Chain A
Amino acid sequence: MTSSGGLRGYFVRSENARGFSLLAPTLILLVLMMVIPIIMLVARSFWTQSGMIETADFSLVNYQMFFEKKIYLYVLGKSLLISGSVTFATLILAYPAAYFVAFRVKKNKLIWLILITVPFWTSYLLRVFAWKLMLGYNGVVNSGLIGIGIIDEPLGFLLHNVNAVVLTLAHAWAAFAILPIYVSLEKIDKSLLEAAADLGEGPIRSFLRVTLPLSMPGVIAASLLVFIPTVGDYVTPKLVGGSSGIMIGNLVTNMFGRGNNWPMGSAIAVMMMISITLVVCIYLWLISQVKKRSN
């Protein structure tokens, strides 16, 4: 070989060098756009703000405030609950759709998968606005119900509450849940379902004993994909949540905006990240316990 020396030879010989060079673009981007900002965020959360002046001295005052003023913990808890409901609702909606495409669609699966992603062809903001139009006081649902004579007055409880947030987010994130569940269902060997039937189990029991456990990796991936980003969402609660549907992300944006207290906003963001991590860890631990129990 002529290229046994020099830089090229080094690349040919070294598996690590080749691996890192493939990884480099992503790595650089992540370090610049994720790691450094997070370090800055954590650092700023220990600063203090009084009036217009930001003091870069180490202080726990923001965290003290976070735990003393009940509103922060309350909104954080509520955000986790809302996201939990969103995740649950999304899974309930996504699983049958994924099941249908995986087991019932024989031809043109790709077209079905593309159709599932169609909502993503419009912007997130537009989709949230669409729900505002649907659920509003003079919205599609209300005027439709009045039109067919079921109600006389528009229903006021459709919009500007937690339910509207859950519904909108579940719709917005459905594809993120359908696709991983679909992949894990698609991988299931069809003869396993026949074997379950052969061994005396009807459709429901076969599903519970074979299909569902084998699709759990997809369900877990889907729930994490939906739960983690929705906790911090602030667009949907702002537009359809009203005052009762406020989430932790709204508090953070307030602190970085009108509140003009970046250190406090940073502290709230850090607490949010920590709590998400904790919830995810507890969730995964619970799943491993269930798995151990069933074996």
Chain B
Amino acid sequence: MSDESFISIKNISKHFGDVRACDDITFDIRRGEFFALLGPSGCGKTTLLRMLAGFETPTMGEIFIDGQPMAAIPPYERPVNMVFQSYAIFPHLSVAQNIGFGLRKDKLSKAEMDKKVDEALDLIAMAGYGGRGADELSGGQRQRVALARALIKKPKVLLLDEPLGALDKKLREQMQLELRDLQREVGITFVFVTHDQEEALTMSDRIAVMRDGKALEIDGPVDLYEKPKTPFCADFLGTMNFFEGSIDAIGGGEATVKTTEVGTIKSTGPNMNFSTGDAVSAAIRPENMKISFDKPTSGSFMEGKVRASAFLGDRAHVYINVEGRKDPVLTAMQNMGGAASRVGGDDHTVWLTWSDESVILLPQE
């Protein structure tokens, strides 16, 4: 056991009848990190979390937490605690009783127990709420109580199942930061499940992107976003323009892709381990494609016509039709000094420019 592999997931599979919810997953989670399992619904992320908690038994494979094999350990003896998606606040108990629920086994005196509960209430900024009933709480308060109830046990790992899913946008953003701060404060390893890519990017140290029961890529948020290795990951985290084609020439950190729709695209970006003739996609993020009203004299560019634009306040999404291409190319521009309003109406001819560094080569699916 080391800090690098504090939680070790080894060849874990879980089958429900014919459905492979998790399919031979192997990766490690570091001690003290904020780790996200990200993926669309049905990708197996919740099943994996439930196997960590002990609510599901793996069909194959093994899980180690802090060097200890988990196979024979029932949920109530694991060094983990969970914040449930529905929060699972006991409706027949008060806030203080909910938070102190897990302390029975610690054989504390009444005074010690009250002190611990009060500390937990302080931690979630709900001092004085101990006597309230579970039905008198707002969504955000329920979430905090669920959190305090799990943290009071001082688990080695805190598991969170879509912890912010039930909250509205503003509260969610606030809780994202609070959770992040809390995790740093208590120093406990957090593993949380989400389908919200923004949430995963904001909160996590590392993210495992999952699809169809497999962990496709595991990396930090910045690297995952800027250097994705699979088209799924590139598309799931943010949005992406894909230009499909094949490698025309490659070498010396530089590649040219002969695309099927828009001519050749040069790349000096990540993922250069292809050879000539390989089917690839040249992928460019919308925010890396800039709109120019005059024909550029140098660099990479393509001509197009404005098809539609969506004004989002701080930025605008502009859809550009490029000759020979079926789907419009998406660009995102900051609305700095009212830039978005100068894009002009439909069918306005513009040029799209980008730097070759921002072109990511990806294998085709």
Which B residues touch A202, using CB under 8 A?
A: 74, 76
Binds B, one of A43-51, A54-62, A190-198: A190-198
- Is A195 in contact with B76, judged by CB distance below 8 angstroms? no
- What 0/1 pattern do residues 191 to 226 of A give for CB contact below 8 A with B? 110111111111001100110011000000000000
Residue B149 lies at the interface, judged by CB distance under 8 Å to chain A = yes
- Is B88 in contact with A197, judged by CB distance below 8 angstroms? no
Residue A295 lies at the interface, judged by CB distance under 8 Å to chain B = yes
Q: Enumerate the 6 nearest inter-chain pairs by beta-carbon distance, A residue then B residue, closest first.
A: A199-B102, A195-B88, A191-B88, A197-B75, A197-B76, A198-B82
Docked CA distance A191–B101 (Å): 15
Jot down 7 A-B pairs with beta carbons below 8 A, ordered by A.
A189-B88, A197-B76, A199-B101, A200-B77, A200-B104, A202-B76, A205-B104
Which applies to chain B's interface (DSSP): helix, strand, loop or mixed? mixed
Docked CA distance A201–B102 (Å): 8
Which B residues touch A191, using CB under 8 A?
A: 84-86, 88
Docked CA distance A198–B55 (Å): 9
- Is B92 in contact with A198, judged by CB distance below 8 angstroms? no
- Is A201 in contact with B76, judged by CB distance below 8 angstroms? yes
Q: A189-B86, A191-B84, A191-B86 are known contacts. Are A197 and B91 too (CB-CB below 8 A)? A: no
- Is A199 in contact with B149, judged by CB distance below 8 angstroms? yes
- Residues of B43-65 contacting chain A, CB below 8 A: 53-55
- What 0/1 pattern do residues 76 to 113 of B give for CB contact below 8 A with A? 11001110111010111010010001101100000000
Docked CA distance A205–B80 (Å): 19
Residue B153 lies at the interface, judged by CB distance under 8 Å to chain A = yes
Docked CA distance A205–B102 (Å): 11
Interface residue count on the A side (C-beta < 8 Å): 19
Interface residues of B (CB under 8 A from A): 53-55, 74-77, 80-82, 84-86, 88, 90-92, 94, 97, 101-102, 104-105, 149-150, 153
Which B residues touch A197, using CB under 8 A?
A: 54-55, 74-76
- Is B86 in contact with A198, judged by CB distance below 8 angstroms? no
Give B78's nearest chain A residue, CB to CB.
A198
Residue in B94, B101, B150, B153 whose beta carbon sits within 8 Å of that of A196 in the complex: B101
- What 0/1 pattern do residues 260 to 289 of A give for CB contact below 8 A with B? 000000000000000000000000000000
Docked CA distance A209–B75 (Å): 17
Give A201's nearest chain B residue, CB to CB.
B76
Question: Whole-angstrom distance from the CB of A72 to the nearest CB of chain B?
Answer: 42
Docked CA distance A38–B120 (Å): 58
Q: A199-B101, A200-B102, A295-B94 are known contacts. Are A194 and B88 too (CB-CB below 8 A)? A: yes
Docked CA distance A240–B104 (Å): 49
Docked CA distance A73–B102 (Å): 50
Question: Whole-angstrom distance from the CB of B283 to the nearest CB of chain A?
Answer: 40
Docked CA distance A202–B76 (Å): 6
Residue in A192, A200, A210 whose beta carbon sits within 8 Å of that of B76 in the complex: A200
Docked CA distance A192–B91 (Å): 9
- Is B92 in contact with A199, judged by CB distance below 8 angstroms? no
- Is B53 in contact with A198, judged by CB distance below 8 angstroms? yes
A195-B84, A200-B77, A200-B104 known; 17 new pairs, CB 8 Å cut-off, are: A191-B85, A192-B90, A194-B53, A194-B82, A195-B90, A196-B90, A198-B53, A198-B81, A198-B82, A199-B101, A200-B76, A201-B76, A201-B102, A202-B76, A206-B76, A213-B92, A295-B97
Question: Whole-angstrom distance from the CB of B142 to the nearest CB of chain A?
Answer: 12
Question: Whole-angstrom distance from the CB of A197 to the nearest CB of chain B?
Answer: 4
- Is B84 in contact with A199, judged by CB distance below 8 angstroms? no
- Is A214 in contact with B84, judged by CB distance below 8 angstroms? no
Docked CA distance A295–B84 (Å): 24
Docked CA distance A10–B101 (Å): 55
Most A CB contacts (10 A, CB to CB) among B81, B82, B91, B92 go to: B92
- Is B86 in contact with A194, judged by CB distance below 8 angstroms? no
Q: A200-B153, A214-B92 are known contacts. Are A194 and B102 too (CB-CB below 8 A)? A: no
Question: Whole-angstrom distance from the CB of A204 to the nearest CB of chain B?
Answer: 11
- Is A200 in contact with B91, judged by CB distance below 8 angstroms? no
Question: Whole-angstrom distance from the CB of A192 to the nearest CB of chain B?
Answer: 5
Docked CA distance A295–B88 (Å): 19
Give A213's nearest chain B residue, CB to CB.
B92
- Is B105 in contact with A195, judged by CB distance below 8 angstroms? no
Docked CA distance A271–B285 (Å): 85
